Structure 1
Amino acid sequence: MRLPRVKPEHAPHRLGDGSVRLGGVLYGIASEIADADGWAWAALTLMDGTRSPAEIAAELRSRFAGLSAEEADEVVATLIGSGHVEEAAPGPCEALSEREKERYSRSRDYFRWVDVTPRDHGWEPQVRLKNAGVLVLGLGGTGSHVAWSLAASGVGRLHLVDPDVVELSNLNRQVLYTEADVGRPKAEVAAERLRAVNSEIEVTASAARVDGPAGLARLVDGFDVLALCADHPREPGGIRTWANRVCSVAGIPWVSGGYDGPLVSVGVFGPGGPCFECVRAGIPPRPGADYAWPGVTGASAGISGQLVAHDVVALITGLMVTPPGYFHGLTLLDPDEHVYAHYPSRADCEFCS
């Protein structure tokens, strides 16, 4: 890093005990540094984008007589490596056009905030999205929001699959369709809408019906992530089980979301974590819960879809705080009732143990 600068969202704060906090109070981002001698605080105040690491270390040595050259260099290197510091004069990013940089400028600001990996120019997460391919299976209440959000976020290749046509009862929650679309294939309409949202990505569509694991395996081949938003056939042994087994064999992460009335939940699964069947086996059964009941509003479907899209983006960009292998979500009628379920792999699981 040539000219380190503390990210504005991570501005340091000195606490009463002399320690330094960076990154505010955000879970998974904030850091607290014990700083009895004041070295870290001084180094951070010098990281304003006008000095090189060597110049910052030299200034530290001039301020603290007892600080050796090795110690000063280590302080600077540690702070740069923390991810709370960015390059003030980043190099060029040739993978994105100027139009793309303007389109995704707010996304870059977001990634800069949540990404604690030192980067060359800050566009790395967006480039990963551009190079990624996502299969969106199911374009209903959850899937229509997922597809729109991924297209707007700049996922380079989207393939949309849904066998159904638009019905009037879909329009209370399925954001991609209008009254004029009633009777038309959902996949066809969704592809048209998303190409209008973002002409710089590739959007393809199919009205195929997935009738078994073999068909699903053919669909996911060549994609980086599966966004599973279909709910038939139901569990046990339904489409989520098919996805679990197919994606485990293929080494492809997948995200699935849905709603059970006011309960909205999302599952994130993939290499490196317990599989769907293991996590599901650890959750106590709740009579009647199948995450596919018809009661839904535009808001509850939107929350479901946006949570799925968020997790897909986090997987692609590498900004997933928690490794795959869990369900999470919320109960809309009780803000304090958060959903989180994580159970270890079963010893006899052939997919993840």
Structure 2
Amino acid sequence: MDGTLTPPEVIDRLRETFPELTAVSASGVVELLLNSGYVEDAAAAPPDEFSTAEQERYSRNIAFFRRVDLTPRAHNWEAQVRLKHSRVLVLGLGGTGSHVAWALAACGVGRIHCVDRDVVELSNLTRQVLYRESDIGRAKAEITVARLAEVNSSLAITGERRTVECQDDLAELVRGFDALALCADEPGGRGGIRVWANRACRAAKVPWAVGGYSGPLVSVGVFDPGSPCYECLSAGIELTLPPGVPVDLGGPGVIAPSAGVSGHLTAQAIISLVTGIPAVPGGYVTGVNLVAPDQHVYARHPAVPDCPVCGDLRPGAGSTAP
């Protein structure tokens, strides 16, 4: 089943090789394989929009998507096409964000806009992968744009040094993008930047992911317009904690591995959101504890009945929360 034979010809070949197979059984085997998503037309050429160099560059991406994608598609470049046409906003270019930005550029996200208010400091160099000692004092956004262009010159990489001060600022930023990677943690707490992102993205119907670390605990929250929101998830987690203990997905303690894992978990979430591979609904947080491998973080909660953000998920409001 490499594209050189039609399905009826494959069935005939099967029956020649295995005479005990009936026509019905052989047809069933072929149909099962076709529907599995693991069989493709090897004769199908990559889309014309990919140059010879891009075909070589992304060959390992294609092998990855072929392995994990179980949906039959017109050609095995569909996920890469979606990446090439996607527009992603990366907000925050520190420990998590620098790894996110690099991973998205390496994978071939067509347009990446990088936003951060800070300049590079010496203490950043333990974990923020895009910066060098010679960059100290320079704006992170400026450096990131230049470094990503060296990683993948075929992309549209832009950036700006900017402070996000309110929900309206975030709403302005996410407009026109297919996904947000939130890698900034200030202002934190109730009513902080994660709540701004939750509400701005929900209003704009933009999926988003937020990565963080607290010492060795690394996590990512993933949200899309059709699933319970960040505030519902936080409320659900709070119910499982002793009174007065806040939900905290971040903290100052970090080394290079925890920043890297955080960034790559977040990048993988963004890639899944824009390609649909795998098609996992959002509204969850997942992660790992790097010093306790048996501790896997995973939480998902239904929409809170009186949530002002996901009121569309209330029963009778046109959708049902998963």
User: 1:161 is paired with a residue of what secondary structure?
Assistant: strand
Distance 1:349 1:320, change over 3 A: farther
CA–CA distance in structure 2, aligned partners of residues 325 and 292 of structure 1: 18
How many Å apart are 1:91 and its aligned residue? 3.3
User: Is the contact made by 1:282 and 1:343 (CA closer than 8 Å) also made in structure 2?
Assistant: yes
Amino acid at match of 1:339: V
How many Å apart are 1:138 and its aligned residue? 0.3
CA–CA distance in structure 2, aligned partners of residues 192 and 58 of structure 1: 57
Amino acid at match of 1:113: R
How many Å apart are 1:285 and its aligned residue? 3.7
User: 1:86 is paired with a residue of what secondary structure?
Assistant: coil
Amino acid at match of 2:77: W
The answer to whether the aligner puts 1:253 opposite 2:175 as a matched pair is no
Aligned residue in 2 for 1:309: 267
CA–CA distance in structure 2, aligned partners of residues 122 and 326 of structure 1: 29
How many Å apart are 1:307 and its aligned residue? 0.6
How many Å apart are 1:68 and its aligned residue? 4.6
Aligned residue in 1 for 2:82: 128
CA–CA distance in structure 2, aligned partners of residues 111 and 256 of structure 1: 23
Aligned residue in 1 for 2:161: 207
Aligned residue in 1 for 2:296: 338
Alignment deviations for residues 279-314 of structure 1 (CA, whole Å, 9 cap, x no partner): 111113473663332111011100100110011111
User: Is the contact made by 1:260 and 1:289 (CA closer than 8 Å) also made in structure 2?
Assistant: no
- TM-score calculated relative to the size of structure 2: 0.90
Aligned residue in 2 for 1:38: none
CA–CA distance in structure 2, aligned partners of residues 244 and 89 of structure 1: 44
The answer to whether the aligner puts 1:189 opposite 2:147 as a matched pair is no
Alignment deviations for residues 84-138 of structure 1 (CA, whole Å, 9 cap, x no partner): 2122222341121111111111111111111112233311111110100000000
CA–CA distance in structure 1, aligned partners of residues 249 and 140 of structure 2: 21
Distance 1:170 1:92, change over 3 A: closer
Distance 1:83 1:288, change over 3 A: same
Q: How does 1:77-88 map to 2 (within 5 A)?
A: 77-88=31-42
Amino acid at match of 1:342: R
- TM-score calculated relative to the size of structure 1: 0.82
User: Is the contact made by 2:227 and 2:281 (CA closer than 8 Å) also made in structure 1?
Assistant: yes
The answer to whether the aligner puts 1:350 opposite 2:305 as a matched pair is no
User: Is the contact made by 2:234 and 2:247 (CA closer than 8 Å) also made in structure 1?
Assistant: no
Aligned residue in 2 for 1:231: 185
Alignment deviations for residues 142-192 of structure 1 (CA, whole Å, 9 cap, x no partner): 000000111111100010000111111111111111111111111111111
Unaligned runs of 5+ in 2: 314-322
Aligned residue in 2 for 1:328: 286
Q: How does 1:1-353 map to 2 (within 5 A)?
A: 4-5=1-2, 50-60=4-14, 63=18, 67-68=22-23, 72-283=26-237, 284-285=240-241, 287=245, 290-352=248-310, 353=313
How many Å apart are 1:66 and its aligned residue? 7.6
User: Is the contact made by 1:311 and 1:320 (CA closer than 8 Å) also made in structure 2?
Assistant: no
User: 2:263 is paired with a residue of what secondary structure?
Assistant: helix
Distance 1:215 1:107, change over 3 A: same
User: Is the contact made by 2:69 and 2:278 (CA closer than 8 Å) also made in structure 1?
Assistant: no
User: 1:246 is paired with a residue of what secondary structure?
Assistant: helix
Structure with the bigger RCO (C-alpha within 8 Å, sep 6+) is 2
Number of residues paired by the alignment? Answer: 306
User: Is the contact made by 1:91 and 1:120 (CA closer than 8 Å) also made in structure 2?
Assistant: no
Tell me which stretches of 4 or more aligned residues in structure 1 moved more than 3 Å: 59-69, 71-75, 285-289
Amino acid at match of 2:86: A
Query: What percent of counterpart residues are identical?
Result: 55
Q: Which moved more, 1:320-329 or 1:259-268?
A: 320-329
CA–CA distance in structure 2, aligned partners of residues 250 and 67 of structure 1: 55
User: Is the contact made by 2:68 and 2:278 (CA closer than 8 Å) also made in structure 1?
Assistant: no
